[in-house]
């Protein structure tokens, strides 16, 4: 659903706060659908000198498999984003935080999804020092060693040890 921004663009200093619950449960990421609960988005809009400043806050919960051991990791996030909505981009303007809205409408849902996806952590781990799975037998090394790999002794060290 698109938000109508006309009023904001018309009066300098006008403010509006919008809260929306967004359903991203169908969004797929690397073969899983991580948005296990509705995403709470809060948008604070403020018109300023012919543009509209947008402070965005997104609260969401992700359920993703750990990159190393595949155990499901459920974690809550709270992220903030900032954008400036403009009716048109002027030549040479840095478009990084500027979002052109020529129709004076904003698709908040799409913007939140883009922001959140671009900001995804590169790695999901159940814990910092997750030991992962044994590539041979598949045992979860967090639960203990499996015995597939004996610690190898450097033969040169072995010679030294026998001399001592």
74 is a contact residue toward Zn ion (CB under 5 A): no
Radius of gyration of the chain (CA): 25
Residue 45 vs 66, nearer CB to Zn ion = 66
Give Cα separations from 89 to 51, 68, 142 (angstroms).
Answer: 11, 44, 52
| Least distance in angstroms from the C-beta of 72 to Zn ion | 10
Quick check: 86 and 106 in contact, CB under 8 A? no
| Least CB distance to Zn ion at residue 32 (A) | 15
Using rule CB under 5 A, residue 130 touches Zn ion: yes
Between 68 and 83, CB nearer to Zn ion: 68
Scanning 13-21, 53-61, 91-99, 118-126 for contacts with Zn ion by CB under 5 A, the matching segment is: 118-126
Long-range pairs of 151-154 with CB within 8 A, sequence gap ≥ 24: none
Q: State yes or no: residue 89 binds Zn ion (CB under 5 A).
A: no
% helix, strand, coil for the chain, step of 5: 15, 40, 45
Q: Give the count of residues interacting with Zn ion (CB under 5 A).
A: 11
- In 3D space, the residue among 110, 56, 114, 116 whose CA is nearest the CA of residue 83 turns out to be 56
Query: Which of 64, 66, 85, 86 is close enough to bind Zn ion by CB under 5 A?
Result: 66
Among 25, 126, 155, 160, binds Zn ion (CB under 5 A): 126
Residue count (the chain): 164
Torsion sign across C-alpha atoms 114, 119, 20, 10: negative
With CB under 5 A as the contact rule, the residue among 45, 69, 85, 101 that binds Zn ion is: 69
Q: Is 134 in the site for Zn ion (CB under 5 A)?
A: yes
Instruction: Name the residues that contact Zn ion, by CB under 5 A.
Output: 66, 68-69, 126, 130, 134, 136-137, 139, 146, 148
């Amino acid at each position: 659903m698109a938000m109508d921004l006309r009023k904001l663009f018309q009066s300098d200093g006008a403010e509006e706060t919008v809260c929306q619950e967004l359903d991203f449960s169908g969004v797929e990421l690397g073969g899983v659908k991580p948005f296990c609960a509705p995403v709470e988005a809060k948008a604070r809009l403020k018109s300023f000198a012919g543009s509209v400043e947008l402070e965005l806050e997104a609260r969401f919960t992700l359920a993703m498999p750990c990159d190393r051991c595949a155990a499901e990791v459920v974690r809550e996030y709270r992220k903030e984003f900032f954008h400036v909505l403009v009716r048109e981009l002027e030549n040479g303007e840095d478009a990084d935080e500027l979002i052109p809205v020529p129709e004076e409408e904003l698709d908040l849902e799409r913007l939140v999804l883009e922001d959140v996806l671009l900001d995804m952590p590169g790695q999901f781990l159940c814990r910092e020092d997750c030991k992962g799975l044994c590539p041979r037998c598949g045992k979860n090394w967090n639960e203990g060693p499996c015995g597939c790999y004996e610690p190898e002794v450097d033969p040169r060290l072995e010679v030294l040890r026998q001399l001592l």
